Amino acid sequence: MSTFIQLHLLTAYAPSNLNRDDLGRPKTAKMGNSNRLRISSQSLKRAWRTSEYFYQSLSDNIGIRSRRFARELVYKPMVEQGIVDKIAKESAIKIAEQFGKLKKEKTPKDPLDNLDIEQLVHISNDEQRAIAQLVEQLINEKRVPTDDEVKLLRKQNSSIDIALFGRMLADSPSFSVEAACQVSHALGVSSVTIEDDFFTAVDDLNNKDVDAGSAHLGERAFASALFYTYICISRDLLLENLNGDEALVEKTLKALTESATKVAPLGLQNSFASRAYTSYLLIEKGTQQPRSLAVAYFKAICSEDLVNDAITRLEQQLDKFDKVYGQCADSRYVLNTETGTGTLTDALDFVVQK
């Protein structure tokens, strides 16, 4: 049986626009009979995996996600070392094709655009090292790589972001990695009204006797919510994805948990300073089938004590599932800033204990 780690978080954000839709407005979702504010799981995962909590202890085990890696890791280093443009481009193309289909634009804006692949690909740190070693050899020998040399995909993986969030390679499925971590979209527990902020900017050098008007007019949408976020991690799959490195698994679990409780997406941070710590964290561990507690919020909360009422709803839903299905976890840890229960240090210790 697999061991699952489940994180349930309640995080409050003041008026902000953390994650925008195609019109620049805060993302929403219909839940129950009302609209809720939403932060996409993609936005959350990027904020976490690029946070200082990952890089402080895991900088040697973080991959890159890019379409432009061939121009940056192959073409530019070769040209900078005096390799002729034709050899550098052919080398970049041959290496890029191992990771995805090349873009084929008849009239590219940049001549190097055709060295890029069509879709983002996650490249592990092991693969980055292999690319760097090959490029160094090609520079020394002033040549294009052979077909065997460009087989740079690696099944062995020590990149924690790939181990957590997976990798899909349609053309090379044997090198795909199943994600060990599933992340929900964060959803507001109450109904939402999106408001608009109309603002102006004044030119400091205006001559007020002649021109007292604004130099710029703008509008930004914003909203506020207490978000419920659910994270489910297969500890066994994470260990498998990281080649059985238990120490790396523990570092990864701690970095993910601390990031999830402290790190916000970067959307319009300079305009709203929308940084927040989680008010409530429930960690569950066990071999039981995982389940979200989002059903607690299908009826929107409307109260003056939103945080405490949301915590009560979540804990009541927890008890309901336990009563009907039996104990849904072997062990639990609660961090509650409203009551002063628990500490982050103890939560991080708990999340890595077997």
Domain chopping of the chain, boundaries: 4-57+178-352, 65-158
CA angle 119, 121, 124 (to 5 degrees): 170
| Structure-token pair, residue 50 | 């690029």
- CA nearest neighbour of 11 among 336, 340, 341, 344: 336
Partners of residue 223 on adjacent β-strands: 16
| Structure-token pair, residue 217 | 């007019």
Distance CA 73, CA 75 (A): 6
> Per-residue pLDDT for 105 more than 80?
no
> Per-residue pLDDT for 204 more than 70?
yes
Mean pLDDT of 221-235: 94
Mean pLDDT of 219-226: 87
Reported as half-sphere exposure (CB side, CA atoms, 13 A), residue 231 has a value of 28
Distance CA 152, CA 135 (A): 12
Q: What is the pLDDT of residues 286-342, one digit of tens each?
A: 999 999 999 999 999 999 999 999 999 999 999 999 999 999 999 999 999 999 999
> Per-residue pLDDT for 154 more than 70?
yes
Q: What is the pLDDT of residues 244-273, one digit of tens each?
A: 999 999 999 999 999 999 999 988 787 778
Could you tell me the pTM of the whole model?
0.91
